[in-house]
Amino acid sequence: MRLLRYIAPLLLGTVQLLAVPAWSRLTGSSCNTCHATPTWQLTTTGLEFLKNGHRMEALKVDPKEQKLDNYLSFVWKGRAYGDTLDSQRTGLANTQKPATNFEQHSFSLYTGGALSDRFSYFTELYLNENTGSTSGSNVVQGDASRKKLAEAFIQYNQPINQDLFLSVRAGEILPGILHVFGVGARSAEQRAIVLNDQLAGSTNTYRPFSRQQGLDATLNSAHSETSFTVGVVDGSSTSVTNSIDADNHKDWYASFLWSFDKNQSAVGVYHYDGQYSNYATANDFSTALSFDNKFKKDGILARFIRDKFRLVGAYFLGEETMAPGTLIYGVPTSKTKNKGFYGLVDYNFTDSFGIYGRYDSLDPNKDLSNNETSMVMLGLNGMLYQSDKSGARWNFEYTEKQSYNHGNITTIGAEKFKDKRYFFQVTWGF
């Protein structure tokens, strides 16, 4: 199908659910070449396109292909959703929140590809993104929307030998292993809680999916069997888009990924070591420093891929440093441990229609009860239309999220809430 030629490449470098048609114009490849459609899991060709720096070959470029039509695309997202909050919730926020909403969510620009034999680049720029707010500090630019530079980096590729090359990225970056395990290419629009949400009750705004300012280096095998990455980043406050960190400490991360069959089934490990400084005024280093939260996050990630289905999951353990004098069960506590995971199953009926289900869990303090958040998701996705120059994809998701009133990193919760959402989105790209 023609649209499949234009869908595949977007997922190689962004968090969107439709392809960047510019890269399909560049590669001329079908969606099945780069993805196990319509689940969007990257194949060997797709993984190589990503690791090469959004280019077909890591160390060579054809000047004839360097034209704007192959480097620039626009993507638009429109949504409709309905929320049913648990009847046990009290207050005006529950009784007066709109049950349904229409939302022109975003209009964004994607550009990237080879600059020379060794250099390439990628940029994801939101010209407009709805904040989902009706009032308060999140309403910016006067219309509850914002502009943001989501991800932008320069990449340099250095050959080591016939089987290895080193890629170095610098700019606003996301760890590559997280991109291919639920942050970037994914069936569901709503990311897994363990990747997307900060710990309830914690001032630390770190979330695994966050892009940060810094650089990383990846040692890649020639055919995507293995990759090893080490990165150093500012560790910026993720509550502020593109912010610079408020302390001198540099965070670091490392990952290793091994693909063990022709379908790119794989296992990997991830480690993040960071520091979040708590000032009297959040992120303002001109005010008094209360304490430094030295924290860690470790993850095991796995996927099993076959022609018609995939199983994907990740399990994370973390540690947080608490404020001096923190009491839990009346006992002074200097450290807490958290955990979270998700598991997803995806099935392809055809190249243009699929179903998926996912279970999420995040526990901000595994030594306390009744403070977890969990979510069940069921979804459908498919193609809305197709043409030579553009295409549109739709997806529908139903979620049930369970949480505990006041349950967080230091407190046992009370009432158990179950909130439901019906979510529909159309993503269009040119």
Residue corresponding to tokens 């306390």: 368
Q: Which amino acid is at 149?
A: L
Residues of the chain with pLDDT under 50: 1-18
Cα-flanking dihedrals φ and ψ of residue 27, to 5°? Answer: -85, -30
Residue 110 near residue 20, CB atoms below 8 Å: yes
Asked whether 392 and 427 are in contact (CB, 8 A), the reply is yes
- Cα separation, 427 vs 26, in Å, equals 21
pLDDT at position 32, please? 58
State residue 253's pLDDT score: 98
Q: Is the peptide bond before 21 cis (omega within 30 degrees of 0)?
A: no
Cβ 11 vs Cβ 184: under 8 Å: yes
Q: Across the chain, how many H-helices and E-strands are there?
A: 7, 20
Asked if residues 39 and 395 have their Cβ atoms less than 8 Å apart, the reply is: no
Residue 375: beta bridge partners? 360, 401
Query: Tell me, which fold does domain 2-429 have in CATH?
Result: Porin (2.40.160)
CB-based contacts of 397, cutoff 8 Å, min separation 6: 188, 189, 190, 377, 378, 379, 421, 422, 423, 424
Do strands 100-114 and 266-279 pair parallel, antiparallel, or not at all (unpaired)? unpaired
Cβ atoms 300, 318 nearer than 8 A: no
Per-domain residue ranges for the chain? 2-429
User: Which residues in 267-280 are b (16+ Cβ under 10 Å) and which e?
Assistant: ebebebbbbbbbbe
HSE, side-chain direction, 13 A CA sphere, residue 372: 15
Rounded CA-CA distance 369/404 in Å is: 10
Q: What is the pLDDT of residue 5?
A: 38
Are the CB atoms for 366 and 411 separated by under 8 Å?
Answer: no
Q: Which residue has the tokens 């009491």?
A: 327
Using a 10 angstrom Cβ sphere, with 0-12 exposed, 13-18 middle and 19 or more buried, the burial of residue 66 is: middle
> 367-423, pLDDT tens digit by residue?
999 999 999 999 998 888 767 677 788 889 999 999 999 999 999 999 999 999 999
Separation of alpha carbons 214 and 325, rounded Å: 34
Give 318: exposed, middle or buried? Use CB within 10 Å, 0-12, 13-18, 19+. Answer: buried
**Amino acid, res. 323:** A
pLDDT at 6: 35
Give bridge partners of residue 402 from the DSSP assignment: 374, 418
Kindly report the number of other CB atoms within 10 A of residue 207's CB atom.
18
CA 264 distance to own-chain centroid: 20
Residue 377 bridge partners (DSSP) = 358, 399
In this prediction, residue 18 carries a pLDDT of 43
- The dihedrals phi and psi of 124, each to the nearest 5 degrees, come to -120, 110
